[in-house]
Structure 1
Amino acid sequence: MAKERICLLNEIGFVWVVETSGKWSDMFEELKKYKETHGHCLVTVKCPSQKHLALWVQKQRRQYREMKKGRSTQMTAERSDLLNGLGFVWKVYEDNWHEMLDDLRKYKERHGDYLVPQKYGPNRQLGRWVTNQRQAYKNMLKGGNQSSMAKERICLLNEIGF
């Protein structure tokens, strides 16, 4: 920027550095309260009263990914440590996959097999999830998209005898 423009902006009292950490800490405190009430940090935008917090949570995940890639971001190691201390979930989809795996283990304990009906009454998501895992595995064997069926997931499913 030209010195002339800098001088003009300085003359009108332009603020060059805006401190945002106060706002971040306010939102962090709000997330702590949310966790105390709900037992987790998975704030959803579906609840209108929590939309601003949900958007902030999404922003933290985006910034964390950027930080991990070595890009410039507002996320710091200190902030990620604070969020980790709350049990913050950085990869929601990954966390959900592991929850479904636990549900599948419980199903096997109750029923003795992994033949979960597509519309399994107590947990309709489980039937769809099992079908999706089988389909993703078949696609992977055919040389299709492997992103939804990582080797780690195959190992975890094999470990439980799926």
Structure 2
Amino acid sequence: MYMHGVKKIDQLRAFKEQNGHCNVSTLDARNKTLGGWVSRQRESYKKNSLSSNRIEQLSSIGFTWKERGYLWEDKFDELCLFEAQNGHCIVSTRDTQNKSL
């Protein structure tokens, strides 16, 4: 079980290097098992059943414990970039390049 966890952390580290975050979706067919493992780590953390060692390992690579926290931070970063490029934070609903904002 311990080696399985180490392998998954290594996979997560590689995922982060490629994608810039640790938020692996269970809907991504290429990373479905890793996404499931990430989800289980969050659930275990919520239930206080994750070891302090595992918490430390995941935190050290930038793991986001609350998925919504990651999404908020991601959108905030996008908005900051928009503001830097446009001088304001008012995103038009007709702006096709920034629909997600």
TM-score range, shorter chain: 0.7 to 0.9
Give the match's secondary structure for 1:40.
coil
In the superposition, the TM-score normalised over structure 2's length comes to 0.82
Residue equivalent to 2:3: 22
The aligned amino acid for 2:9 is F
Task: Tell me the C-alpha RMSD between the 2 structures.
Answer: 1.9
Question: Where in structure 2 are the equivalents of 1:18-57 lying within 5 Å?
Answer: 20-57=1-38
**Equivalent residue in structure 2 for 1:76, among 51, 65, 69:** 51
Q: How many residues align?
A: 101
| Runs of at least 5 residues in structure 1 that lack an aligned partner in the other structure | 1-19, 68-72, 127-162
**Equivalent residue in structure 2 for 1:99, among 64, 71, 74:** 74
Task: State the alpha-carbon separation in 1 of the partners of residues 85 and 9 from structure 2.
Answer: 40
Cα gap change, 1:41/1:118 in structure 2, threshold over 3 Å: closer, same or farther? Answer: same
Give the CA deviation at 1:86.
1.1
Task: State the alpha-carbon separation in 2 of the partners of residues 41 and 60 from structure 1.
Answer: 12
Give the CA deviation at 1:45.
2.0
Task: State the alpha-carbon separation in 2 of the partners of residues 101 and 39 from structure 1.
Answer: 15
In the superposition, the TM-score normalised over structure 1's length comes to 0.55
**Equivalent residue in structure 1 for 2:88, among 113, 117, 120:** 113
Give the CA deviation at 1:50.
1.1
Task: State the alpha-carbon separation in 1 of the partners of residues 90 and 24 from structure 2.
Answer: 32
* Range moving further from structure 2, 103-112 or 47-56: 103-112
Q: Identity across aligned pairs (percent)?
A: 27
Give the CA deviation at 1:26.
2.3
Residue equivalent to 1:88: 63
Task: State the alpha-carbon separation in 2 of the partners of residues 122 and 80 from structure 1.
Answer: 37
Give the CA deviation at 1:57.
0.3
Give the CA deviation at 1:66.
1.2
Higher relative contact order (CA 8 A, sep 6+): 2
Give 1 or 2 for the bigger CA radius of gyration: 1
